[in-house]
Chains A and B, each alone.
Chain A
Amino acid sequence: MEKTRKWRWGINRWFVLAFIILGFIAARLWPPVLPDIRLPAEVIFHIGNFGWTNTMTAMVIADVILLIIALIVRRAANSKDMIPRGFSGAVEALLEVIHNLTETTAGRWTRTIFPFFATITMLVLVANWTELIPGVNSIGLIEKAAVGQPGFAVVQSFLGPTLTPEKGEYTLVPLVRTLSTDLNFTVALALISIFMTQVVGLRALGPKYLGKFWNVGGFFKRPIFGVIDFGVGILELVSEFSKILSFSFRLFGNIFAGSVLLFVIGTLVPVFAQSVFLMLEFFVGAIQAIIFGMLTMVFMSQATQGHGDHEEEHA
C-alpha cells in the first residue's frame, strides 16, 4: 500500500487570491453593465436574406466540440489498451450509466433507443455548458440600442470599445449566446424526440400502435367503458402535443433563467459572487441534459410496450 502524504495547504489558494484581487481591480476599471436581455436570438450578420444569429455560432461550436470528443474517444477505443484512461474514461463512464438506465427500462429495444438518449444528452450537455466559458455572452458587437431599451455609453479601453454604466445609446450584442436559450433549438429537439418516439412505436407494434390513440376496440367488448377508452385515446393524442411543449419549455426555461441570473448577479456583485452561481448552472445544465434524454428514453420504451403489456417486469 502506498504511503499517503499528509495533506498540506497547496499553491492553489494563491491563485484563487490572485484572481479575486484581479477581479476587484477589473471591476473598478471596467464596471459591468446589465446586458440587453432579449428572448429571441440576436442577428450578428446577414448572408443575403438570411440572418446568422449568435446562437448559430454556439451551435457550430457545440458541434465542433462534440466531434472532437468523438474522435478522442474513438482513438482511445481503438487502441490496444482495454481500459480507457482520463477523458475517454469519463465519457465512457457517462455512457455506461446511460446504457444501464436504458437497459433497465427498455429491455429488448435498447439498441434502438440508446443512440437517441446518448446523442440528445451529449448535445444538450455541451450546449448547456458553453454558457460557463468566460467570453460567452460578454464579448460581442456594440450596436445602437433599440428605442425604449436602456442604452449605455461607450469608452475606449485597451480591450477595445467597452460599455460603461452611464446613460448612452449603445448596447452589446454577444457574439456567442448559449444554444439552449434559443427557443428554435429546444422546440426542434423536442419535435425530433417526439416524432422518433412515434416511429419507434410503429416499428415495435406495427399499425396497432395507432390503436393507442384511436381506441375503438373497446366498443365491442365492453360497450360502456368503450366510450371512456375512446376518450382516453383522444387524451393520449393531446398529451403527445403537450409533451412537445413541455420538453422545449423545460430546457429553455431552465437555461434562459440561469443565464439571466448569471447576468444580473454579475452586474450587482461583480467580484466572486458569480462563481457560486456558475456552480449552480453547471449542475442545472447537467441535470437538464440528462432529464431531456431520460424522458425521451422513457417515452420511447413506453411506446414499444403498448396497452397490453402493463404487467411486464424486469427482474
Chain B
Amino acid sequence: MIGTIGAGLGIGVVVNGAVQGMARNPDASGLVQTNMILGIAFAEAVAIYCLVIALIILFVG
C-alpha cells in the first residue's frame, strides 16, 4: 500500500508537466500527449511491481 504513494506522486508530476506544456504550446498537443502516456506507463509500472509482490506474498507459500 505504501508503494502506491510514490506512483501517485510520480504520475501527478508527469501530468503536471504535460498539462503545462500543452497550455504553453497547444500545437504540440499530440506530441506532448504521446510522451505523457509513456511517462504514466513507466510510473505506474513501479506501483504494479509493488502489487505483484503483495500478490506473491499473499497467494504463494
The 0/1 profile, CB within 8 Å of A marked 1, for residues 26-51 of chain B is 00000100100110010011001101
Q: How far is the CB of B8 from chain A (nearest CB, A)?
A: 16
Please, which residues of chain B bring their CB within 8 A of the CB of A101? 34
- Assess whether B23 is interfacial by the CB under 8 Å rule: no
Please, which residues of chain B bring their CB within 8 A of the CB of A295? 38, 41
Contact of B31 among A37, A104, A249, A257 (CB under 8 A): A104
Are B60 and A39 interface neighbours, CB within 8 A? yes
Are A253 and B59 interface neighbours, CB within 8 A? no
If A101-B34, A291-B37 touch, whether A257 touches B45 (CB-CB below 8 Å) is: no
Q: How far is the CB of A194 from chain B (nearest CB, A)?
A: 15
How many residues from B make CB contacts under 8 Å with A? 15
Please, which residues of chain B bring their CB within 8 A of the CB of A294? 34, 37-38, 41
Contact of A39 among B37, B49, B51, B56 (CB under 8 A): B56
> Please, how many angstroms separate the alpha-carbon atoms of A252 and B52 in the complex?
9
Across the two chains, which residue of chain B brings its CB closest to A260? Answer: B55
Q: How far is the CB of B1 from chain A (nearest CB, A)?
A: 13
- How many A-B pairs have beta carbons closer than 8 Å: the answer is 46
Contact of B49 among A253, A256, A287, A298 (CB under 8 A): A253
Q: How far is the CB of A83 from chain B (nearest CB, A)?
A: 24
Q: How far is the CB of B43 from chain A (nearest CB, A)?
A: 11
Q: How far is the CB of B14 from chain A (nearest CB, A)?
A: 14
Secondary structure dominating the interface of A:
helix
Across the two chains, which residue of chain B brings its CB closest to A257? Answer: B51
Please, which residues of chain A bring their CB within 8 A of the CB of B45? 246, 249-250, 253
If A38-B59, A39-B59, A39-B60 touch, whether A249 touches B38 (CB-CB below 8 Å) is: no
Chain A, range 86-129, C-beta contacts under 8 Å to B = 101, 104
Interface centre among B44, B45, B59 (most CB of A within 10 A): B45
Please, which residues of chain A bring their CB within 8 A of the CB of B41? 250, 287, 291, 294-295
Please, which residues of chain B bring their CB within 8 A of the CB of A38? 59
Are A39 and B34 interface neighbours, CB within 8 A? no
Across the two chains, which residue of chain A brings its CB closest to B34? Answer: A101
- Assess whether A302 is interfacial by the CB under 8 Å rule: no
Are A254 and B48 interface neighbours, CB within 8 A? yes
Residues of A within 8 A of B (CB): 37-39, 101, 104, 246, 249-250, 252-254, 256-257, 260, 287, 290-291, 294-295, 298
